[in-house]
Amino acid sequence: MVGASGLDQTAKRFRLTVVNNAGPGTDILKSVNSAGGYEMKINDAMHRQAGWTSADIPVSEVAKIMMKSDIGAIPVGKNDKLIGMITDRDIALRVVAEGRVPAKTTAEEVMTKGIIFCHTNETVEDAIHLMDQKKIRCLPVIDDKKRLVGMLSLGDVSHAVGRDLSGELLHAAASHHP
């Protein structure tokens, strides 16, 4: 069983540290490279059916899109530019918990402002580092023309790096989100 895990940087390579429940000091290090993910490009791991929603769409519609598409985050755009991200957590905390009316609240009112993204030509390692650093679980992916071409989630990374590492990787990343 995994007791605690986390990502750390060692010699410019990310390694997943898994601490065995048997006791302290028993660290099992697995490099992302050992599962094929270290040199893998984001373009090879991302989910390509990604879209974005307009800033003025009601949150009730955003929630329906999330449910239908089985996703937890959608980039928000205005005037043909990405301006933020709305997540299921944003809806729960900034709409439901505050007693707002979802049909009368827009995505822009409750989204997380600013956009953290990655590029298609960066490595999966770069994305793992960025997700860990920013404590997020998915990233919009843009191409060299700055157009949204996909999304990269922890699930996509897990699938891309293989079975042996995926459970440990997801546990490590999820440890930031109790």
CATH number at residue 84: 3.10.580.10
The structural domain count of the chain equals 2
Same domain, 73 and 104: yes
Instruction: For residue 87, tell me if it sits in a domain.
Output: yes
| CB-based burial, 104-122: b 16+ in 10 Å, e otherwise | ebbbbbbbbeebebbbbeb
pLDDT in tens, 118-147: 999 898 888 988 998 998 889 999 988 888
Q: Are 107 and 62 in the same domain?
A: yes
| Six-digit token string for 76 | 């928000």
pTM to 2 decimal places: 0.66
Q: What percent of the chain has pLDDT over 70?
A: 69
Q: Tell me, yes or no, whether 123 lies in a domain.
A: no
DSSP state of 76: E
Q: Is residue 152 very low, low, confident or very high in pLDDT (cuts 50, 70, 90)?
A: very high
Average pLDDT over residues 154-178: 63
User: In this structure, is residue 125 part of a structural domain?
Assistant: no
User: Taking a C-beta distance cutoff of 8 angstroms, is the pair 53, 44 a contact?
Assistant: no
Range of the domain at 165: 2-37+160-174
What is the spatial distance between Cα 122 and Cα 106, in angstroms, rounded to a whole number?
33
Supply φ then ψ for residue 149, to 5 degrees. Answer: -120, -5
